[in-house]
A = this chain, B = another copy of it.
């Protein structure tokens, strides 16, 4: 539970037991400064007058500021000289002042409003000294929830250079504090998964097991983390199946139908537990009642295929190398007919990020990159078999950030 007034500066949020000075893990303030400084260095090298961020995930990455993203633009701008402004709708001013450390806050009345927010924003840019070529994640606010408006280049009359490539390349290598948040997310995913496994029984429905596991874990996480600061509305822990039950488990992305579990069902789970915005991914194939020999065989193969990916992950290898290692394993074991998806994807502030562990992605792996590793086998009659774990590339290999049993005996549910 948060105190009403006790808004600590970013990086110093503490749990309720203040005497113990137990520090709740967040991204420290100096790290946001370093990130902005790196982006500014790029901006100066490119002889740009400053940079502008329209996307909510980028604003969070560079400033730690969180808000409900909607059709009303929230924009962050910083000049090459380091003068910055956060631009928000009027109704966000008081909260922004209370929950952030921005020195300058500019506001517009409403969207669409009597004057379009982008026209007002153009004057703010002049005022902070951003005149001449600008860098931006994109040339205007994205069309969220019906937003429409002129491009940044039009309202400023200057050229706009895209920075999304630079931003994404920064985001894909995680810092120690980011890795720690992802690791913590993985622990809550495992907590929720244990409960999901416990509540999944014949006669129970998908929604019953899922809501119970998710609610209980959310409350446990909130209680354990104490004052969580940036917890956004959409946060909380979820665990479930999204319909991947019985033969539907062979659909790698099913949608939920609130199915009732039956003995013999193959299951593919999913969990989500953002911690201060950071995500791990943990998924397991499971079976209700004793597995058949065929199921046991395919279970063994997905564990081995995941191991083949783990072995291939190290700095200097490419994303494609990792996917190739898995494809080679599938080919050697006559499993290609069961293939449906590439090996994995980047993960962090978003639950899917670049790069992808895919034959067509030739990005070179570097330490600090974080991926899901989830080679699956799918058959319309036998069902789906997939374990997803989250791993970080290290200086000399990789490290698994999620910790949950992968063997079939641990994943066989009682009838």
Q: Confirm or deny: A187 has a beta carbon within 8 angstroms of a beta carbon on chain B.
A: no
Across the A-B interface, the 6 shortest Cβ-Cβ residue pairs: A91-B340, A145-B352, A233-B242, A2-B257, A146-B354, A91-B252
Instruction: Mark contacts of A157-180 with chain B using CB atoms, 8 A cut-off: 1 yes-contact digit, 0 otherwise.
Output: 000000010001000000000000
Q: In whole angstroms, how far apart are the Cα atoms of A361 and B236 in the complex?
A: 36
Q: Confirm or deny: A94 has a beta carbon within 8 angstroms of a beta carbon on chain B.
A: yes
In the complex, how many residues of chain A place their beta carbon closer than 8 angstroms to a beta carbon of chain B? 80
Contact A250 B94 (CB under 8 A): yes
Q: What are 12 A-B interface contacts by the 8 Å CB criterion? A: A4-B259, A91-B251, A91-B253, A110-B342, A111-B356, A113-B359, A114-B360, A145-B353, A146-B354, A208-B219, A228-B258, A231-B258
Residues of B within 8 A of A99 (CB): 255
Instruction: Mark contacts of A355-399 with chain B using CB atoms, 8 A cut-off: 1 yes-contact digit, 0 otherwise.
Output: 010111100000000000000001010000000000000000000
Residues of B within 8 A of A143 (CB): 164
Contact A352 B95 (CB under 8 A): no
State the main secondary structure of chain A at its contact with B. loop
Distance (whole angstroms) from the CB of A281 to the closest CB of chain B: 13
Among listed A65-73, A123-131, A406-414, interface-contacting one: A65-73
Q: Confirm or deny: A254 has a beta carbon within 8 angstroms of a beta carbon on chain B.
A: yes
Distance (whole angstroms) from the CB of A76 to the closest CB of chain B: 17
Q: In whole angstroms, how far apart are the Cα atoms of A311 and B71 in the complex?
A: 26
Contact A1 B231 (CB under 8 A): no
Contact A231 B215 (CB under 8 A): no
Q: In whole angstroms, how far apart are the Cα atoms of A240 and B236 in the complex?
A: 13
Distance (whole angstroms) from the CB of A273 to the closest CB of chain B: 14
- Please give me the residue from chain B that is nearest to A66 by CB atom: B255
Q: Confirm or deny: A33 has a beta carbon within 8 angstroms of a beta carbon on chain B.
A: no
B-binding residues in A (CB < 8 A): 1-2, 4, 66-68, 70-71, 89-92, 94-95, 99, 110-116, 143, 145-146, 148, 164, 168, 205, 207-208, 211-212, 215, 218-219, 222, 227-233, 235-236, 240, 242-243, 246-248, 250-260, 340-342, 345-346, 350-354, 356, 358-361, 378, 380
14 more contacts with CB within 8 A, not counting A70-B352, A71-B345, A233-B243, are A1-B259, A2-B257, A68-B253, A71-B352, A91-B253, A91-B340, A92-B253, A110-B360, A111-B358, A112-B361, A145-B352, A228-B257, A233-B240, A233-B242
| With known contacts A145-B353, A205-B222, A233-B242, A258–B1 Cβ distance under 8 A | yes
- Please give me the residue from chain B that is nearest to A4 by CB atom: B246
Distance (whole angstroms) from the CB of A113 to the closest CB of chain B: 5
Q: In whole angstroms, how far apart are the Cα atoms of A71 and B110 in the complex?
A: 32
Contact B4 A247 (CB under 8 A): yes
Residues of B within 8 A of A342 (CB): 110
Residues of B within 8 A of A236 (CB): 207, 211
Q: In whole angstroms, how far apart are the Cα atoms of A340 and B109 in the complex?
A: 8
Contact B92 A341 (CB under 8 A): no
Contact B231 A341 (CB under 8 A): no
Distance (whole angstroms) from the CB of A248 to the closest CB of chain B: 7
Residues of B within 8 A of A351 (CB): 145
Residue of B4, B146, B212, B218 touching A352 (CB-CB under 8 A): B146
Residues of B within 8 A of A353 (CB): 145-146
